Chains A and B, each alone.
Chain A
Amino acid sequence: MSQYMNRLLVCALTVAVLPASLVSAQDIAVRGETVYTVSGPPITDGVVIVRDGLITAVGPAAEIEVPDGFTVLSAKVVTPGLVDAHATVGLTGLYNKDHDQEQLDISEPIQPELRAVDAYNPRERLVSWVASFGVTTVHTGHGPGELISGQTMVVKTTGGTVADALLDDATMLAATLGDDANTSGSGKSPGTRSRSVAMLRQALIDGQAYRSKLAAATDDEDKDGPARDLRLEALARCLDGELALLVTAHRHHDIVAALRIADEFGLRLVLDGAAEAYTLIDEIKAAGVPVIVHPAMQRQTGPDEERANISFENAALLSASGIPIAQQSGFESYVPKVRVALLEAAIAGAYGLPFADNLRSITLGAAEIIGVADRVGSLQPGKDGDLALYDGDPFEYTTHCVGTVINGRVISEVVR
């Protein structure tokens, strides 16, 4: 075995995941030849001060004093910790066997009551794998494959328990339209697109009725509320806008159907995947809906299948039109068992997405769409001390991620 590999192995061993609660947040200063704050212009020879896990100062090294006793890390390029806008990592595991694939239950087509917190494995090796590329925040949970497969949440890529990792315990309901929702083994799933939409509308109407009963009981003390129903409760939260509806749809008519449903029910819609979104730019823009674009390297399918018309340019075309976008690792049934949002974004960059827009789509832009921009996504005082360190352009094939910091704590030093 080479010395190079021995070094990597040693590094890997020293980066074993420790529960955050056992290690206090650190005071740390991170210096970069270029610091991309994302919220403002890049800073040449910049420094980021993190105290008690939070950013307290960001600016040129010449203007900001590093307090005594602070550990100083240095790298050529420093960015905010990356935010993967949609994944299933932690619910999907390395082995790809039933026992480590928790992202989809196929017993019923509509199960919004399934919570991501009850299925997430924070010690999954694939979680630390993505962390080693600088990914510090992941919107993960139930995946595509059923009409409504369950809830999603937002976690940091560290922590020994889900509670340690959690940023937001319930973020969106994961829905799927198109052929991918028509294939379940339960026998209860829809067989056509029209049936899919009819079932979804009925579920939302049931949710509306439940919400009305709840409201009536709240208004009138003499009235009993409806019997508590976890499924309808989750749908009601979605109708209230508390949970966004994340619709994975690739074909243009499925995207239009998602816009139609969101309009009918006043939902907070987030489009996911959206391989043919570049053919509907005006419609998506008019609806004011953000798009979490499919991984750039998601595979093209045969001409009669969902992603026949997928394009490397999708993210670039949507972004150029002003539609808010984010990028993601998505769900993969085979290999790579977890995609790395950074590596996917790199390809979007090669096919036309400008550097600044690209970086934003895996940091602040992603944080905004998943509702955690008050905590992460940019290097600004008051935000969490989450940073990624690189020895060059983060998107370049030959650049390494040389360190990942979460809440002021170095959680990965692997050179990758």
Chain B
Amino acid sequence: MVVLALAALLIACAAPPVDGTAEAPQAFVNMHLITVAGAEIPQGVLIVDDGLIVAAGSSDEIDVPDGAEIIDLAGKVVMPGLVDSHSHIGEPWAADSSAPIQPEVRNYDSINVRSSTIQRAQAGGITSANLMGGSGHLMSGQTTYIKLRDGDTIDELVYRRADGQPLGGLKMANGTNSQGAPPFPGTRGKSAALVRSAFVSAQDYAAKIERAGDDASKLPDRDLGLEALAEVLAGERVVHHHTHRHDDIMTVLRLREEFGFRLVLHHVSEAYKVADEIAAAGVACSLILIDSPGGKIEAVDMRWETGAALEQAGATLAYHTDDWVTDSRLFRRSAALAHRAGLSRAGAMRSLTLSGAEMLDIAHRVGSLVAGKDADFIVLSGDPLSVYTLVEQTYVDGELVYDIERPEDRLAAYGGVGASYGGAAFHHACLGEVSR
């Protein structure tokens, strides 16, 4: 009997649902639609099928396909799932205290996808994130780009490269955070020299591989750290560089010029002082917005106007949470406060979505609502830049991963008894003094 019952259950699961809705396209209609790809649409339609966007646009222009499940979102706002270009959800520890340069360390091998921090980020409308190690090292290791699906293992969440390896960048830092007692550098000059030496070694390593050609006997011994740096030099792995002060920013630009790596500048408290130089270099900035300046020496000149200054200079900018530094549930707040301080509304929307996706090389799949991209989007109770607006639903690949009406999701969104689980919160991500 048990076997028969089980068999029946299996068949039931395999068969298409009786009403057929899961197989039918979904049409989200009547909402204010922010595609980020173009102007905002007061009366929008979003057609989703099999996890992908079939169409997104005005109700005047888009026909709802026959048989589609219609979801009426009158009074709501829909925008792309948010992309967080710098986060520490899921405890993404990387380098340890043994050395200042550890490019061989992957935080892919560390991430706890069952941490409540992941659910909190879904509650904030975040659907893709760059999980970073700390900033207490010149090179703290390889970062991991994830999609915030509901999954039991990291492998269900990770973005992958064409070769099957996890997609991610290399976390670097300069300034005071990465300084310390030997073997850590004690000065800025020493920091830059150590980084240059590492890249020179990687150049040599890459050249040996190049010279070996098809002759395996001439290949250098495999070195995981140099291998990662060779990927950086080849443009296959983006450098995500923590830096605050104007002179430290210029040092990073100088190193990039020398070694030709692809670069995103992170935090950049003083970017407004060198906005033209950043824009001229064509380098993108992933910004944090903190409620007050200071807290560390390098951030005493932080300003809310940095986003506006970079926008006016013509540089690409995104905001990030640096969660736990700011709360993933309030990610929109950073762009909204930047808008308050002069960033355009369109720039604010882009800084939460497409610009971050571009920095992670995932803009062909996410970051805007256009046909062919993944159906990663959020339903909001009102304007994304209003404090009173809540994220009500978060969709990843067309799947509803967060719904404020579900008790467990409401707990993630509001907090309360039992809201924190799955592991310790990430406390000292970028806190230089104690990050090691």
Contact = CB atoms under 8 A, between A and B. Distances in A.
- Does A associate with B in a complex? yes
Identify the interface centre among B275, B312, B390, B416: most chain A CB within 10 Å of its CB.
B416
B431 A334 contact: yes
B195 interface: no
A104 interface: no
Interface stretch (B65-73, B94-102, B287-295): B287-295
Contact of B387 (A94, A310, A349): A349
B237 to A, nearest CB: 29
Contact of A309 (B299, B327, B417): B417
Interface in B297-317: 297, 299-300, 303-305, 308-309, 312
Nearest to B324: A299
B194 interface: no
B157 interface: no
Interface stretch (B167-175, B252-260, B329-337, B359-367): B329-337
A213 to B, nearest CB: 46
B425 A398 contact: no
Contact of B295 (A335, A340, A347): A335
A304 B342 contact: no
Given A279-B417, A309-B415, A397-B387, A343 B291 contact: yes
Identify the interface centre among A4, A308, A332: most chain B CB within 10 Å of its CB.
A308
B414 A2 contact: no
B295 A311 contact: no
A180 interface: no
Contacts of A125: 293-294, 300
Interface in A303-339: 303-305, 308-313, 332, 334-339
B419 interface: yes
Interface residues of A, number: 52
Given A302-B424, A397-B340, A340 B292 contact: yes
Contacts of B390: 350
B41 interface: no
B165 to A, nearest CB: 31
Contacts of B416: 278, 309, 311, 313
Nearest to A311: B415
A302 B420 contact: yes
Contacts of B293: 94, 125, 129, 337
Contacts of A339: 291-292
Interface string A268-306: 000000001011000000000000000001011111110
Contacts of A396: 386-388
Contacts of A336: 290-292, 295
Given A335-B295, A337-B295, A397-B386, A95 B414 contact: no
Contacts of A308: 419-420
Contacts of A351: 414
A311 B414 CA distance: 6
Given A305-B420, A309-B416, 7 more contacts: A5-B305, A94-B294, A94-B300, A303-B421, A350-B390, A396-B387, A416-B304
25 contacts: A1-B275, A2-B312, A5-B303, A5-B308, A95-B294, A96-B296, A126-B292, A276-B417, A300-B415, A305-B420, A305-B424, A311-B414, A313-B414, A313-B416, A335-B325, A339-B292, A350-B388, A350-B389, A396-B387, A396-B388, A397-B333, A397-B337, A397-B339, A398-B385, A416-B304
Interface of A: 1-2, 4-5, 8, 93-97, 125-126, 129-130, 276, 278-279, 297, 299-305, 308-313, 332, 334-340, 343, 346-347, 349-351, 395-400, 416
